[in-house]
Structure 1
Amino acid sequence: MASMATVSCCRRPLGFTEYFFALTTELNIPYSLAYTWQLESKSPLSVDLIHQAAALLQETMPLLRLCVVKEMDGKYFFELKDTVTVPLEVSNETDWRKEQDEMMKVVYNLKTGPLWKMRFLPTVCRESALGDTRKEGNPYTYAVIFGIDHVLTDGFTNMSICRQFLKILNGLIDGGQPDKTPHTKIDPSLVDLMPQSEKAFGWMDYVVVGKFIWNTMFSKPKPNIFAVRYPLVDTYPSHTFSISTDGLSKEETKLLRKMCKLQQTTVNGAFTAAASTATAWMIYGRNKPQGDIQENTVAVEQTVNMRRFCETEEGKNALGVLFLSTLIPVTLSPSNDNPKSLWDAARSTSSQMHTIFENGDLLKQLRLANYFVQKMKAKDLRSNMKISAEQRCFAISNMGDCSGILSGTGDHVQVTDVARSANLLEGQSVVHFVHSLQGRLRYNLSYNARRFTQEEANRYASWTLELLRSLISNIDGTAV
């Protein structure tokens, strides 16, 4: 494979989120991300063309040339590599889902890099050459599996990488001369991009720190009911797998957005309500009488893109790990499966999220997380992760509408679908991945194979979509 030209070296300290993911990788608990980009092209794409695009992608995005250096004093830094090979592989696999699951298992070497990998599945191209039934004028379809260590990126950044790859690929097909100027800028960490007024610790922050230390020393938190119902099975391998669904159609997505507006809530609120009731069905059973069940309030993890709080354009468009997870209490009840109950739950979630945004609670959480994580040692991390995973019922990563960020990249090749997944941290149960693309709501579920069978995970994802579709109606159940 090709190698890159030498560039000037630069470095910066890891932010607290990056430091956390570096520690997990050191403990052999990698948090690897895997994205599948479904490509449609007007002409066949060769392996050489994909390799050239991948090499240029690496040259134009310094993020992809970073490694992690640990100094003698224990501090961690990102360092830009002088020379990096292009980590492109070609796969003969015809099922991209298998490749995506395999990509989640990759453990990256923080010291040497590269901390990302790409697999190209050109099977359709070869089949076309053999004279398949592809009609003239129909696009050629391919899959690219993009994997990366979470220490480098979040969802917004990964979509930005996809956009850059498309721009480069379309530019090469157009015959233009690619810009080979080496780029060496590394964006600041999350904490450095936040408003200066929000960085200073106040007396209330110290009160929260004291309470946390007290609870850590003298109280033992109980696991949530989902973790109790589906305990970790130590005899099973610690693997994460992904359930890929069809999501919602364009018409269904349009109706859901319309109903959310009428019900004064958000798509994220509606999805959280559907996932919560599906979780209750998984715990209690779908048809169990409500009188036999005690409702439970659990913590649901919501991922927030913190760029919304940046005051500069540099911050709003910065690449790297710029997200924060916050916990929202939701009630689990299998009888909350009617539109009225689901909409009530959706409004509750969206209202809580709105309050968190307006009150600056996330910036406070950011200060506290920065304080705690920076003081964390590798030996304490594993036990803290287990406790944290037991307390969180499930997680939702909702990126909203991604159509804008992937638009305007060229006329020859486009991405028609994106599937997202992540290798779960130790003990974590499930993560629901949601986003919209080209007018369709897309949904994937990453699940812990030590807690769920594939059949159970399929049922869970199917029930979540079924409940979400039930909201595409009026309160009385009639179609919109």
Structure 2
Amino acid sequence: MEDEGKWLWKTKGFFDCFNLCYQLTLAARETLTEESLTQALTHLFRKVPPLRMRYGRRDGDTWLREMAKEIVDFEVVPETTMRDMHDKLQHRHYDTWTGPLWCARLWPRPQSSLPDDELGFDRSRYPHAYTLFFGFHHGITDGNTNMRICGFFVQLLNDVLAGKSIQDEEQLGILVSDERTKKLLEERIANMEADPEAKQRALDDYNARHTKHSMIESTFKGTGDKEGRSLVLARDVDVATTSQFVKRCRTENVTVNSAFTALANVALVDLLVEGGLQQDTYSIRGDHILNARRYWEGDASQYLGCHIVPQLAVIVPTPRDIGGKFWEYARLVHADLKQKIEAGTALQDEAVRHFMSEKTVMETIFSCEFGVTNMGDVTKLVTEGGEHVQAVHVLRSVNLDGVPATCSNLCHTFRGRFTHVLSYNTASVTSEMAEKFCDRLFNQLSSVI
């Protein structure tokens, strides 16, 4: 007899090669027990639909379906490191046919592990520090869903510690398929099929932005590891500097995302020049991961799952010497990004791939210099915490060694701090290159605010 578990919908599983790791730092009034954590995580399992998902085979197709039984994969890891946990969770093998497709690990920390600048709460009232690592299979969640899950967990843990009654029937969000995005893609594909000239323009535009080589890989050929590993380099910008940066972006009429992209382009040019690539300008291709919900009709804020558009390629010529014209350059980046986001160019690119061979798609989609995924201010999603537990810090990483990618910049702001994580593939980017890139990026940031 077939085991229980509702069948939901077919899935292609494009994101099966990616695992995500979220690192949530907590400050607690009392010592957190394994029992209280397990209780909060069990409620999380019951109240968040994606966390009850697994895969199944049906009539020769892969489907998403509900788990047959309740399983919470949680451990306390007293002796570990940040790098070790990201490495383990990025490469975790989930039992896709049984579930769960996520896990949690608690690392007790000294209070000195908390950020040095202002926290927004009385540190003496919360003397116990912990880091909770969430591992997620990218097939069931995206950044928006994961940040919300972190926030759900903080609220649930506060309620557990306060002894409140928690009703598991009340679900936090709605799990939906990618049907809305598929419909938008099908409309664009149909329009191109009906208008060959429009189709050719879309193909030409795609090919112009999807060169089949990377300047990083050609300039630093042979410097990477034979067997690449996905490593993480994380940096925070303090509250005061973050505030200055955001204010300057507003003054210059660019978004923080556009300004960061411009900083990353300038930093990469410095690295390429040092590597021996001498040009007057550099066509830096950065690929931006967008939240597909922005293109859906109506209020999509409660929709959970993996809903991203991979990925928007943006190329802006970057001069070798930016001089004192950084913000002028940043406005060019902003104008190009804004135009493409508003025009739905990422959807157009995904539709264009319908007319290309799978081999060509794979060759072009990972040929960017770097990726950018900037979630903006996530404080409301993660929450600041409550009476018993405060959420102090959050960061995220993704494994890249399962694909021919170089590196990805994962950014967001939480409790007034801008956080940047560089996930990089050592097959293309060495740790020394990663350090130099980030040094130049943040030195440039300091100099332009």
TM-score of the two chains, using structure 1 as the length reference: 0.81
* Distance in 1 (alpha carbons) for counterparts of 2:434 and 2:172: 43
* Distance in 1 (alpha carbons) for counterparts of 2:213 and 2:185: 37
Of 42, 53, 70, which residue of structure 1 is paired with 2:29?
Answer: 42
| Contact kept? 2:75, 2:105, Cα under 8 Å | yes
- The match for 2:431 is 454
Root-mean-square deviation over aligned CA pairs: 3.3
- The match for 1:398 is 374
- The match for 2:340 is 356
- The match for 1:98 is 84
Distance 1:183 1:13, change over 3 A: farther
- The match for 1:168 is 156
* Distance in 1 (alpha carbons) for counterparts of 2:336 and 2:204: 27
C-alpha deviation, 1:455, in angstroms: 2.2
- The match for 1:281 is 270
C-alpha deviation, 1:198, in angstroms: 7.6
- The match for 1:242 is 232
| 1:12 has 2:9 as partner | yes
| 1:422 has 2:398 as partner | yes
More strand as a share of residues:
2
* Distance in 2 (alpha carbons) for counterparts of 1:19 and 1:122: 35
| Contact kept? 1:301, 1:394, Cα under 8 Å | yes
C-alpha deviation, 1:242, in angstroms: 0.2
Name the aligned partner's letter for residue 343 of structure 1: W
Structure 2 unaligned blocks of 5 or more: 114-122
- The match for 2:117 is none
* Distance in 2 (alpha carbons) for counterparts of 1:204 and 1:437: 42
Distance 1:299 1:95, change over 3 A: same
Name the aligned partner's letter for residue 283 of structure 1: L
Cα shift readout 1:195-241 (whole Å, capped 9, x = no counterpart)? 7798363443564767899999xxx9541212212346686323100
Distance 1:235 1:100, change over 3 A: closer
C-alpha deviation, 1:13, in angstroms: 2.1
- The match for 1:151 is 139
Q: Number of residues paired by the alignment?
A: 431
Cα shift readout 1:294-314 (whole Å, capped 9, x = no counterpart)? 42213210111122222222x
For 1:19-34, list aligned pairs within 5 A. 19-22=13-16, 30-34=17-21
Distance 1:48 1:93, change over 3 A: same
- The match for 2:304 is 319
Distance 1:432 1:221, change over 3 A: closer
- The match for 1:3 is none
* Distance in 2 (alpha carbons) for counterparts of 1:148 and 1:461: 26
Name the aligned partner's letter for residue 252 of structure 2: Q
Cα shift readout 1:250-276 (whole Å, capped 9, x = no counterpart)? 111111111111111111111111111
Distance 1:387 1:368, change over 3 A: closer
C-alpha deviation, 1:19, in angstroms: 2.6
| Contact kept? 2:188, 2:348, Cα under 8 Å | no
* Distance in 1 (alpha carbons) for counterparts of 2:103 and 2:448: 39
Name the aligned partner's letter for residue 68 of structure 1: Y
* Distance in 2 (alpha carbons) for counterparts of 1:164 and 1:104: 22
* Distance in 2 (alpha carbons) for counterparts of 1:138 and 1:61: 28
Distance 1:453 1:408, change over 3 A: closer
* Distance in 1 (alpha carbons) for counterparts of 2:315 and 2:418: 24
Q: Partner of 1:201: helix, strand, or coil?
A: helix
Of 288, 293, 299, which residue of structure 2 is paired with 1:307?
Answer: 293
- The match for 1:132 is none
* Distance in 2 (alpha carbons) for counterparts of 1:188 and 1:357: 23
Name the aligned partner's letter for residue 94 of structure 2: Y
Name the aligned partner's letter for residue 463 of structure 1: R
Distance 1:119 1:191, change over 3 A: same
Distance 1:260 1:199, change over 3 A: same
Q: Partner of 1:312: helix, strand, or coil?
A: coil
| 1:435 has 2:412 as partner | yes
Moved over 6 A (4+): 194-198, 208-216
C-alpha deviation, 1:7, in angstroms: 8.0
| Contact kept? 1:104, 1:423, Cα under 8 Å | yes
Name the aligned partner's letter for residue 155 of structure 2: K
Name the aligned partner's letter for residue 440 of structure 2: W
Q: Partner of 1:122: helix, strand, or coil?
A: strand
C-alpha deviation, 1:318, in angstroms: 0.8
Cα shift readout 1:161-202 (whole Å, capped 9, x = no counterpart)? 101111110110110112133869962223426777983634
| Contact kept? 2:24, 2:133, Cα under 8 Å | yes
C-alpha deviation, 1:83, in angstroms: 0.4
- The match for 2:165 is 177
C-alpha deviation, 1:159, in angstroms: 0.3
Q: Partner of 1:404: helix, strand, or coil?
A: helix
| 1:470 has 2:426 as partner | no
Of 312, 318, 327, which residue of structure 2 is paired with 1:343?
Answer: 327
* Distance in 1 (alpha carbons) for counterparts of 2:428 and 2:185: 43
- The match for 2:66 is 80
Distance 1:86 1:210, change over 3 A: same
| 1:228 has 2:218 as partner | yes
Distance 1:252 1:180, change over 3 A: same
Distance 1:361 1:456, change over 3 A: closer
C-alpha deviation, 1:143, in angstroms: 0.3
Name the aligned partner's letter for residue 394 of structure 2: V
Name the aligned partner's letter for residue 151 of structure 1: G
Name the aligned partner's letter for residue 143 of structure 2: G
Q: Partner of 1:405: helix, strand, or coil?
A: helix
* Distance in 1 (alpha carbons) for counterparts of 2:81 and 2:183: 45
Cα shift readout 1:392-432 (whole Å, capped 9, x = no counterpart)? 11111100000111237532112211111100142100101
| Contact kept? 2:407, 2:429, Cα under 8 Å | no
Name the aligned partner's letter for residue 14 of structure 2: F
For 1:90-129, list aligned pairs within 5 A. 90-124=76-110
TM-score of the two chains, using structure 2 as the length reference: 0.86
Distance 1:162 1:156, change over 3 A: same
